[in-house]
Amino acid sequence: MDALLHITTLHYLVLGAALFLLGVIGVLTRRNVVIVLMSIELILNAVNLNLVAFSRYWQGIHGSQALHGQVFAIFVITDAAAEAAVGLGILIAFFRNKETVNVDEVNLLKW
């Protein structure tokens, strides 16, 4: 009980792992491209949570004031923004050509 009530870095890591798994399940099982992209956002957010938690953990053990994890989290958010813009642009082009948002229909490159 004490382990559950005393919030440590591991709690945040477990939460990040749970969100990562939810995102992976969404990417692997859903057919709607929009929801697949949202699941990718979930995965990126799980990584961000781990980065910020480890940033705080690093300060706890080393006593240093370096915030490298938080800077990395900001870079990941930048990447997420770029990825969302390009992904949604591709999605619009795809919808214009095929009139559907179903990933199973994206098979032009299939050999």
Partner 1 sequence: MNPPVATPFFFYLLAGTMVIGGILVITRKNAVHSALALITALLAQAGLYLMLYAPFVAGVQIILYAGGIMVLFLFVIMLISIERAEKERQFNKQWLVGIIAAAALGGLFIAVYTTTTKGKALFPEGRMTYGESQNTQQIAALLFDRHAGQYMFAFEIASLLLLVAIIGAVVMAKKRI
Binding residues among 70-99 for partner 1 as defined by CB under 8 A: 70-71, 73-75, 77-86, 88-93, 95-96
- Cα four-point dihedral sign 57, 23, 91, 105: positive
Closer of 71 and 110 to partner 1 (Cβ): 71
106 binds partner 1 (CB under 8 A): no
CA torsion angle for 91, 95, 98, 99 (degrees, to 10)?
150
The distance of closest approach from Cβ of residue 24 to partner 1 in the complex, given in angstroms and rounded to an integer, is 5
- Structure-token match 């199973």, residue found: 104
Among 18, 106, 108, 109, binds partner 1 (CB under 8 A): 18
Neighbours of 106 (CB within 10 A): 14
The site for partner 1, by CB under 8 A, has a size of 77
